[in-house]
A and B are shown apart, each in its own frame.
Chain A
């Protein structure tokens, strides 16, 4: 009845009870919620473009890295203003924003700032590389390390302040 692979986990059964909700898709979002989702989607597109290069799915292109860095900086600066403490913002259709944002506002703003600063560093690295003469291999390694540092902020903020998708 139980195979040799039968492993349980009450680790899970006994695991942390968190309140979960069913997140809706992006569709149906309006106003400020739609605006910030669109902004986030642009971040996602740029992250994908750099990610594909680092995975070797697309050819290495410093101009695209610079564009990503620039988009991250521009949007990062706007993040706090896209999360006003209003009913629309807190409870608008389709939003995945958690109330923790407004309960821990300083922390949320600090994360946005850290993301912006790291993005600035990504942009600077990309700018310097395009003015230099290093091999593509070297360029790719340099971009990888600063890109990883920058996007850790995406996960860190989502982990704390965005509802689980599934």
Chain B
């Protein structure tokens, strides 16, 4: 559960942040970041940028859900969603196209650094409550489309709120090393042959909840073999091909579109949110790609 990792995670950050002999890990992190940016540059100039596709990516990736305060009728992408945690409360920032309060003046490069590498424009690190460790696997085309769509939305001049954390902001410094352990190393075009695997591993970040976590809260083994300590301490089921043997591809597509299980029940909780704000917005082709990948031998238990 969250509470069990919290002290370990903080200790980890404070210790690694203060120690320099782990410098090699730092270097590795920098190299990974450069690799991802180089891979992105390979795709540039992109053949075309599609803002409509960018909106789909934003929904599939949960950007809209986490950066729009729907519960309090907040404006699109204006932030303000409060995320309570054992470390205090994080408040998602404004990422609308506003020049002052949003990301209206950001270059594509700055944006890619944030989403793929968790790098702030000032060179610091973002807290991984912003799930960039999963987004690190997104393709250059998706990043460019996403950027184009975000920049095309209406600017909102609401100022971002400060986080209310119980840990000092300086602990951010330790995130560099943490990132070298938990942000995937080798993003490169062609890493995923199947689109379904790309969607599951990258933008839709299914492993965030469906994979087991280790001692400092990272997912070091991305097999979707379930998680006994899910987001609220509850269990998240395995979704490997073996675990889903009674589900057909159509059952999975139906589930990811409207949340209906093969028995006719409708789940609530976290998965309902993932479906409503995420997978329900995907095209039938993408839903099929995910379902086919989940049922394939590549999605194995061990």
Task: Place the interface of chain B in its size category.
Answer: 35 or more
In the complex, the answer to whether A7 meets B222 with C-beta atoms within 8 Å is: yes
In the complex, the answer to whether B85 meets A15 with C-beta atoms within 8 Å is: yes
Query: Would you call A141 an interface residue if the criterion is a C-beta within 8 Å of the partner chain's C-beta atoms?
Result: no
CA distance A17 to B1 in the complex (A): 9
CA distance A115 to B247 in the complex (A): 27
CA distance A45 to B265 in the complex (A): 8
Interface residue from B9, B213, B231, B235 paired with A16 (Cβ < 8 Å): B231
By a CB distance below 8 angstroms, the chain A residues around B208 are 7, 9, 11-12
In the complex, the answer to whether A14 meets B273 with C-beta atoms within 8 Å is: no
Write out, one digit per residue, whether chain B residues 246-261 have a CB within 8 A of any chain A CB (1) or not (0): 0010110010011110
Query: Would you call B128 an interface residue if the criterion is a C-beta within 8 Å of the partner chain's C-beta atoms?
Result: yes
In the complex, the answer to whether B269 meets A55 with C-beta atoms within 8 Å is: no
Question: Which of A2, A14, A164 has the most chain B CB within a 10 Å cutoff?
Answer: A14
Write out, one digit per residue, whether chain A residues 15-33 have a CB within 8 A of any chain B CB (1) or not (0): 1111110000000000000
> Which stretch (B50-58, B149-157, B182-190) binds chain A?
B182-190
Known: A51-B254, A151-B258. A6 touches B268 (CB 8 A): no
Docked complex: A46-71 residues within 8 A CB-CB of B: 46-49, 51, 54-57
By a CB distance below 8 angstroms, the chain A residues around B265 are 44
By a CB distance below 8 angstroms, the chain A residues around B84 are 16-17
In the complex, the answer to whether B275 meets A155 with C-beta atoms within 8 Å is: yes
CA distance A3 to B260 in the complex (A): 34
In the complex, the answer to whether A48 meets B181 with C-beta atoms within 8 Å is: no
Of all chain B residues, the one with the shortest Cβ separation from A151 is B258
In the complex, the answer to whether A155 meets B128 with C-beta atoms within 8 Å is: no
Interface residue from B5, B86, B250, B276 paired with A17 (Cβ < 8 Å): B86
By a CB distance below 8 angstroms, the chain A residues around B222 are 3, 5-7
Interface residue from B183, B235, B268 paired with A158 (Cβ < 8 Å): B268
Of all chain B residues, the one with the shortest Cβ separation from A15 is B231
Docked complex: A134-166 residues within 8 A CB-CB of B: 148, 151-152, 154-155, 158-160, 162-166
By a CB distance below 8 angstroms, the chain B residues around A151 are 258, 260, 266
In the complex, the answer to whether A154 meets B266 with C-beta atoms within 8 Å is: yes
Of all chain B residues, the one with the shortest Cβ separation from A44 is B264
Interface residue from B129, B235, B258, B260 paired with A10 (Cβ < 8 Å): B129
In the complex, the answer to whether B260 meets A14 with C-beta atoms within 8 Å is: no
Known: A16-B85, A18-B231, A164-B268. A11 touches B250 (CB 8 A): no
Chain A: interface residue total (CB-CB under 8 A): 45
CA distance A130 to B265 in the complex (A): 27
Docked complex: B118-163 residues within 8 A CB-CB of A: 127-131, 133-134, 136-137
In the complex, the answer to whether A3 meets B221 with C-beta atoms within 8 Å is: yes
Least CB distance, B4 to chain A, in whole angstroms: 10
In the complex, the answer to whether B185 meets A4 with C-beta atoms within 8 Å is: yes
Query: Would you call B230 an interface residue if the criterion is a C-beta within 8 Å of the partner chain's C-beta atoms?
Result: yes
Known: A4-B186, A8-B219, A17-B232. A155 touches B262 (CB 8 A): no
By a CB distance below 8 angstroms, the chain B residues around A11 are 128-131, 133-134, 205, 208
In the complex, the answer to whether A47 meets B234 with C-beta atoms within 8 Å is: no
Least CB distance, B194 to chain A, in whole angstroms: 15
Least CB distance, B240 to chain A, in whole angstroms: 14
Binding site for B on A (CB under 8 A): 1-20, 43-49, 51, 54-57, 148, 151-152, 154-155, 158-160, 162-166
Q: Which 9 A-B pairs have the closest CB atoms?
A: A48-B264, A8-B218, A8-B182, A13-B217, A158-B268, A11-B131, A18-B232, A164-B269, A44-B264
Binding site for A on B (CB under 8 A): 2, 5-6, 9, 83-87, 90, 127-131, 133-134, 136-137, 178, 181-186, 201, 205, 207-209, 213, 216-222, 230-237, 248, 250-251, 254, 257-260, 262-270, 272-273, 275-276
Given contacts A11-B133, A13-B9, A155-B272, 18 further A-B contacts (CB under 8 A): A3-B221, A6-B219, A7-B219, A9-B133, A10-B217, A12-B213, A12-B217, A13-B6, A14-B83, A17-B2, A19-B232, A46-B264, A49-B264, A57-B250, A154-B259, A155-B276, A165-B268, A166-B234
